């Protein structure tokens, strides 16, 4: 039984309109994200926003593009469906649904595995981008050896006993100082087993407390969210000073 062209033409019209709407929506999501980043002036605030939202917004856009592909492919083979009947209409629907589900999981895996690498590169650029002081002067980022003199005791303790890192920026002309706090567990590293950027800190523990006479031992436990690889990294803790 032939399927009326009027039905198929109306169907195709709605599908193509939906395709255009979803493609435009996908690009608008990406543009909105970039516009939000552009509006943020402070580089640390940019860093935090990108860290929390970059992958999320990118995935929303990809979902829109996948859905657009689903609608578009439901406009193909119209002449064959018209001639061979409604059964082929449902066959096309089944095939496009199947490929859409496959595409969903493929892109979900690709974004989860590969995209964090691109995000980490962007975060590193933002973290090392020269800051400006209120006076308008470029500030200098202190080295690890220099920054402890500018950190409070609890900050040094956090760096030593937790996956926390502080960056200290100094305006050497005015003496203005800015301290930024970063959390290592929020970030992924390249897994030595599978090579994907999916290795994260799962937990950390003090295996041996430092004393006035002996160094301590701090252990970070890592786990890959893709292949399940686990590893532990040891860090020697300095002896306690007399005023600790």
Q: Write out the chain's pLDDT in tens, 244 residues.
A: 567 788 889 999 999 999 999 999 999 999 999 999 999 999 999 999 999 999 999 999 999 999 999 999 999 988 888 888 888 899 999 999 999 999 999 999 888 888 888 998 999 999 999 999 999 999 999 998 888 888 888 888 787 777 788 999 999 999 999 999 998 877 888 889 988 888 888 888 888 888 888 888 888 899 998 889 999 988 887 777 655 4
- Cα–Cα distance list, 67 to 21, 27, 197, 225 (Å): 10, 13, 27, 27
Strand order in the sheet with 177-183: 140-141, 164-170, 177-183
User: 150 and 182: one domain?
Assistant: yes
Asked whether residue 198 is assigned to any structural domain, the reply reads yes
160, 186, 212: which is the final residue of a domain? 186
pLDDT of residue 91: 92
User: 41 and 96: one domain?
Assistant: yes
Please provide residue 11's backbone torsions phi and psi, each rounded to the nearest 5 degrees: -55, -50
H or E stretch covering 54: helix 43-73
Asked whether residue 125 is assigned to any structural domain, the reply reads no
Q: How many residues does this entry show for the chain?
A: 244
Which one, of 240, 197, 244, 201, lies nearest residue 220 by Cα? Answer: 201
End-to-end CA gap in the chain: 87
Asked whether residue 35 is assigned to any structural domain, the reply reads yes
Number of domains in the chain: 3
User: 115 and 20: one domain?
Assistant: yes
* Residue 194 tokens, joined: 């599978």
* Residue 131 tokens, joined: 């800051």
Asked whether residue 200 is assigned to any structural domain, the reply reads yes
Query: CB neighbours of 50 closer than 8 A, spacing ≥ 6?
Result: 37, 119, 122, 123, 126
pLDDT of residue 102: 96
Report d(CA 219, CA 217) in Å as an integer: 7
């Amino acid at each position: 039984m032939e399927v009326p062209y009027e039905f198929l033409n109306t169907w195709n019209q709605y599908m193509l309109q939906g395709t255009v709407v979803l493609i435009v929506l996908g690009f608008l999501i990406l543009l909105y994200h970039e516009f939000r980043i552009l509006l943020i002036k402070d580089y640390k605030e940019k860093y935090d926003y990108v860290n929390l939202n970059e992958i999320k917004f990118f995935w929303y856009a990809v979902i829109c593009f996948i859905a657009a592909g689903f609608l578009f492919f439901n406009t193909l083979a119209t002449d064959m469906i018209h001639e061979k009947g409604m059964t082929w209409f449902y066959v096309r629907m089944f095939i496009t649904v199947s490929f859409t589900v496959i595409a969903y999981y493929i892109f979900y895996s690709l974004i989860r595995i590969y995209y964090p690498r691109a995000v980490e590169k962007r975060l590193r650029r933002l973290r090392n981008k020269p800051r400006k002081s209120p006076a308008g002067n470029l500030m200098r980022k202190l080295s690890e050896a220099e920054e402890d003199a500018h950190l409070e005791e609890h900050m040094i303790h956090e760096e030593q006993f937790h996956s926390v890192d502080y960056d200290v920026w100094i305006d050497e002309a005015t003496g203005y100082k800015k301290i930024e706090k970063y959390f290592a567990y929020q970030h992924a590293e390249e897994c030595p087993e599978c090579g994907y950027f999916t290795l994260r800190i799962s937990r950390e523990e003090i295996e041996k407390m430092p004393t006035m006479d002996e160094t301590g031992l701090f252990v970070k436990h890592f786990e890959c969210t893709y292949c399940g690889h686990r590893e532990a990294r040891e860090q020697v803790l300095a002896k306690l000073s007399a005023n600790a």
